[in-house]
Structures are given as C-alpha cells and as structure tokens.
C-alpha cells in the first residue's frame, strides 16, 4: 500500500484495496479507528490528521490481512454481543448476531434466580450476556478448550461479572447437579459443508464449528444427556443450523422432552429449538 500521510488518504487507499479484494470497503474505517485507538467520529472530524510512518505501515499491514481474509474481529480482538464488548481470538468462535436470539429466549424462559448451564461457552458471550442482564442467576459455563475458557474468564473479569463459574469439561463430564436452564450454541456444521472453506469460518477453530457428517453430533449428545442435568420442568435451548430445526425437534421428542418448539431468526430461518423436560416416573405421570 502506498504511503498515506493523512487519515483521508489512508482511508481512500484502504477502501480501494478492500474493494479489489472483494471485501467490504467500509471496514477501512473501523480498522483505522482501531489502529489509531480513536472512535470513528475522530476520522470524520479530522480527515487532515497526519499519520506517523509507523501508523501508516501498521494500518497497511492490517488492511493486507483483511484483504487476505482474516476476520475483522480477530484483527481488532473485539466483538460486540448484546450490551457487552468481548475480547475474541483465534481460539474462540466470533459471537454471531443470531446467537443474541438464543439469549433473548433464555431471558424470557428462565425463572427468577435461575441456575443456568452453558456448555461450550467460547468467548463467554452467552453466559456473560445472561449474567449482565440477569444478575440474580447463577451460571456455570464450560468448554473443552482451555484457551477459550481462559479468554472467557478474562472477559468476565473485565466486565466484573462474578456470577459465572467456569469449568473445563467435555460437555457434561465434569458436572454434577441440576439446572433450571441449559443453553448452548454447539458446533453444528457438517464435516464436508463447503461454507467451511469460505469467509470467517476458514479462520475459526474447527472444534467450535464442526459436528460430524450431518452436523448434529453435538446436538444429539446434548439432547440425550441434558435430562440428567435438568431440574424437573427445566428448559434445554439449542442454537442450530437453518436446515436443522426438524431434526432437532425429532431428537428432543425421541428423548421425551415436552413443549418442543423452534424459533426463527430475523431472516425467518429456523435458528433455535428448545423444550422442557418433566422427569415423569415410569409408573406415573407425576413430576418427580
């Protein structure tokens, strides 16, 4: 990238480069604001501001990485999720806007003072958003990735969210007790899904994305195991792929869940399913 002397010149060059690389030119602004540790209004108010040679060189490097496909969130190390800005890195999935619907449903379904389990917390997005919006809930968040858990704990400390307990666990293996609500955005992409070779997914951890030949391995496991860890009448809420709603409902039904339902995202696509488990005894329909 040719040497840019001012904010306006740097942005013009970066937008051109991003367009040539078939990325979004408007990303130039957010990346320069990040580079200069200013907000975007500074860029608008100060187009004539001079960049130092080091700032120009670092910005050119950032733009080159973005042109090559590195996700913006990994370049800035941050992503907004509901009311929080979270640190993210290459060990964690980049939290998606669709997952905010999962949080929304949990907020509506969870009782006061709920005990909540989030298996597969990644950056901590779901657990920390719930803790932020429901300070009386007691939340346990797990992940099989120690690197992801470490970042989730940093995010919790940064936002002073002390009601989340983090546990290193392969799904439920390290857990005991029962929860009012189990909520998860598990891996749900099929092994040979062509999306894995496109966009941000190329850079995200495989363990956060891929779940067997049909993408349902983690959902199958969670659906099967969850009743052991649910309070009577407790909810299981799962995010899934847009074409997995029917399969997910079938799994819930086969496992004996009640009140099975699927919710759509803003694009009208099936995005999450959930159900309650009543813990009926085999000899009666009484709740135990």
Ligand X SMILES: C[S@@+](CC[C@H](N)C(=O)[O-])C[C@H]1O[C@@H](n2cnc3c(N)ncnc32)[C@H](O)[C@@H]1O
| Stretch 140-159 residues interacting with ligand X (CB under 6 A) | 142-145, 148
Nearer to ligand X, 32 or 148 (CB): 148
Q: Say if CB 117 and CB 179 are below 8 A apart.
A: yes
Residues 170-189, one symbol each (x = binds ligand X by CB under 6 A, - = not), give xx-------------xxx--
Nearer to ligand X, 97 or 232 (CB): 97
Give the nearest distance from C-beta 92 to ligand X in angstroms.
6
- How far apart are the C-alpha atoms of 287 and 271, rounded to whole Å? 30
- Rounded to whole angstroms, what are the CA distances from 137 to 24, 96, 111, 163, 246? 39, 23, 9, 7, 31
Burial of 192 (0-12, 13-18, 19+ CB in 10 A): exposed
How many residues sit in the footprint of ligand X (CB under 6 A)?
23
Nearer to ligand X, 11 or 103 (CB): 103
Instruction: Answer yes or no whether residue 208 interacts with ligand X by CB under 6 A.
Output: yes
Q: Is the Cα dihedral 228, 234, 239, 244 positive or negative?
A: positive
Nearer to ligand X, 43 or 187 (CB): 187
Beta bridge partners of 138: 115
Give the nearest distance from C-beta 267 to ligand X in angstroms.
18
Q: Say if CB 245 and CB 216 are below 8 A apart.
A: no
Among 93, 216, 219, 230, binds ligand X (CB under 6 A): 93
Positions touching ligand X (CB under 6 A) are: 93, 95, 99, 119-123, 125-126, 142-145, 148, 169-171, 185-187, 207-208
């Amino acid at each position: 990238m040719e040497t840019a002397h001012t904010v306006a010149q740097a942005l013009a060059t970066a937008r051109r480069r991003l367009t040539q690389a078939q990325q979004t030119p408007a990303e130039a602004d957010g990346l320069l604001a990040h580079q200069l540790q200013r907000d975007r209004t500074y860029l608008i108010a100060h187009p004539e501001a001079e960049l130092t040679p080091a700032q120009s060189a670092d910005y050119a490097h950032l733009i080159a990485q973005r042109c090559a496909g590195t996700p913006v969130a990994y370049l800035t190390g941050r992503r907004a999720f509901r009311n929080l800005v979270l640190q993210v890195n290459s060990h964690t999935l980049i939290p998606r806007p669709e997952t905010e619907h999962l949080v929304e449903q949990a907020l509506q379904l969870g009782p006061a003072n709920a005990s909540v389990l989030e298996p597969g917390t990644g950056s901590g997005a779901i657990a920390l958003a719930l803790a932020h919006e429901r300070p009386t809930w007691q939340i346990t968040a797990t992940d099989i990735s120690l690197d992801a858990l470490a970042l989730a704990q940093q995010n919790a400390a940064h936002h002073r969210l002390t009601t989340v307990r983090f546990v290193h666990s392969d799904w439920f293996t390290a857990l005991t007790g029962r929860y009012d609500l189990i909520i998860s955005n598990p891996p749900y992409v099929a092994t040979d899904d062509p999306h894995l070779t496109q966009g941000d997914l190329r850079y995200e951890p495989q363990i956060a994305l891929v779940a067997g030949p049909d993408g349902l391995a983690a959902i199958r496991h969670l659906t099967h195991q969850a009743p052991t860890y649910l309070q009577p009448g407790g909810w299981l809420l799962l995010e899934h792929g847009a074409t997995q709603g029917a399969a997910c409902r079938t799994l819930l039904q086969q496992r004996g869940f009640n009140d099975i339902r699927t919710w759509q995202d803003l694009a009208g696509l099936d995005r999450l399913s959930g159900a309650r488990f009543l813990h009926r005894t085999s000899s009666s329909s009484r709740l135990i």
